[in-house]
Amino acid sequence: MSVFKFKHFQIHQENAALKVGTDSMILGSICSWDNPIHLLDIGTGTGVLALMCAQRFAFREIIGLEISEQAFVDAQINAQNNPFSSKISIINQAIQDYDPSEKFDAIISNPPFFENSSKNQNRQKSLARHTESLSFQELIHSISRLLTEEGKAWIIIPFESKENIIQLANENNLVVSDLITLFGKPNKPTRIIISLSKQNTEAQTSSICIRSENGQYTEEYKVLTQDFHDRDL
């Protein structure tokens, strides 16, 4: 599918290795900030999270950072052809080399997270899916480096990587503010959404089930994403 239609914008994804999926749909729907100003989307891909956040929040500026040249092409097209184009910029650069003049009070990332599975022969898919281009350690360090003292970062990772991320957060002076477990089906945890900040707060825990046992979307998933899907699920 070269175009994914949302309610208020479209995502062209002809070149990007990873297409719009449930991970981004949920992360973009559930992330939250109080009066945010500057957003950094690390590994923006098609730019879908940047656009979802632009729809939900009154950001003054949104930066989408993308290392893949192919995905960068799609992200630029999407950033220019939507109701929020004036506030979105896409940069073709690795987060490890990114050194902005000011920090961000909002960060979001749906990072590559396959660590031990076999690499895809397609270089762009490998960059998008595997941690060779952005390890969890590099991601968490970058968040700590670029996040303001009052800011918050949101990421989505495999469920089994939770303890690793929590440990890395502690090592980088970050505090876990939210832990949201995603169940693909009842009793089958697949992902976890984590928010990180520099404030000393107690982590809030919750969960979301995406599909019922018969494979239908749950009511809680429909309600969560209703502002984005252009059709009834």
- pLDDT tens digits, one per residue of 65-75: 999 999 999 99
Would you say residue 118 has pLDDT above 80? no
- pLDDT tens digits, one per residue of 18-39: 888 999 999 999 999 999 999 9
Would you say residue 176 has pLDDT above 60? yes
Query: Under CATH, which number does the domain 3-175 receive?
Result: 3.40.50.150
Would you say residue 210 has pLDDT above 60? yes
Each domain of the chain, given as residue ranges in start order, spans: 3-175
Query: Please, which residues have CB within 8 angstroms of residue 146's CB and are 6 or more apart in sequence?
Result: 40, 98, 100, 103, 104, 107
- pLDDT tens digits, one per residue of 152-174: 999 999 999 999 999 999 999 99
- pTM for this entry: 0.91
pLDDT at 18: 84
CA-to-CA distance for 123 and 120, rounded, in angstroms? 7
